[in-house]
Amino acid sequence: MELATVGQTVWGQFLHEMKCFSNEDFAIDRGLHTRYRLLFIMEGNGILQIGTVRHSIISPAFYCINEREPLQLAAHSGVKASSVYFHPKVINYKLSLRENLFDNEGLATSDIQDAWLLEPFFNRSDGYYGCVSIDVSFVHYVQRIMEEIHQILTTSSPNWPCQSRSYLQELLFLIRRLYRKSKETAHRIPQAPPDIDEVIQYLHVYYRNKIGLDELAKRFHTNRTTLNRKVNSVTGMSIVSYVNSLRIQLASSMLCNTTLKVTEIMDRVGFTDDAYFIRVFRKQAGYTPAEYRKQFGSL
């Protein structure tokens, strides 16, 4: 599928290397080697594989994917997403698909500023893999902009290339601001033999649910002792400890990057008892949830 928009009645035959999909279909592989991909996940749980590494889905969040990173949606529950595919030259005609945009020759100061805007797409580290969490208060705002981009590129309204570019820049400025303040740590999913990998994927999708060991063992046709031993051999933790670790990492991200109440975060990551949540959080993070937000929160 061509990831560009061609002018029809307005700016006839003008090729604008940008395309928006309001309902992303993860079954279709597109954009690799040709486009950056701004993926907005509105809701849902699951696993994204970015390149060769799998990560827990955080929602709502932006995922800033460059043209070298194939992306797959693995096990999931209720994921809703939209995407904008674009070539860096949509932002600045001097920018090209390079490993580091700052390496482009002949860049003026204003060009470097535009490259800086795209840094979340090509910078990678152990703690950052392209995910920028957003506060739930931004969701409707982002949805509106994504819908505007889709509408503009679909209908070719007057000045549609400039309009779509300006909306994209608006999103990129928001992302860059959040990226700079983000304290998120990636939760990588360990590689495991197929039978245990299926269990681990299940835990990453349904961590919000009450997970009983007997029910889990029955689901995967084994007994709780064998299941715990196999999961421990891959993760170094019991099933209960692994699920709590996942929940606390996700709660930590929400505490840092959103203004959600602590009780709402507790519920969203699968805890039902306040005292137990605080106790587990303090054991893993060294702070109570309120202390953690005060110390590391970016909003």
Looking at the domain covering 5-181, what would its CATH class be? Answer: mainly beta
Average of per-residue pLDDT across 238-255: 92
pLDDT of residue 183: 58
Give span(s): CATH 2.60.120.280, the chain.
Answer: 5-181
Average of per-residue pLDDT across 79-91: 94
Question: Mean pLDDT score of the chain, rounded to an integer?
Answer: 88
- Winning range, highest mean pLDDT, from 12-21, 141-150, 180-189, 247-256: 141-150
Predicted TM-score (pTM) of the model is: 0.87
pLDDT level of residue 42 (50, 70, 90 thresholds): very high
**Residues 75 and 7 sit within 8 Å (Cβ to Cβ):** no
CATH number of the structural domain 194-296? 1.10.10.60
Give span(s): CATH 1.10.10.60, the chain.
Answer: 194-296
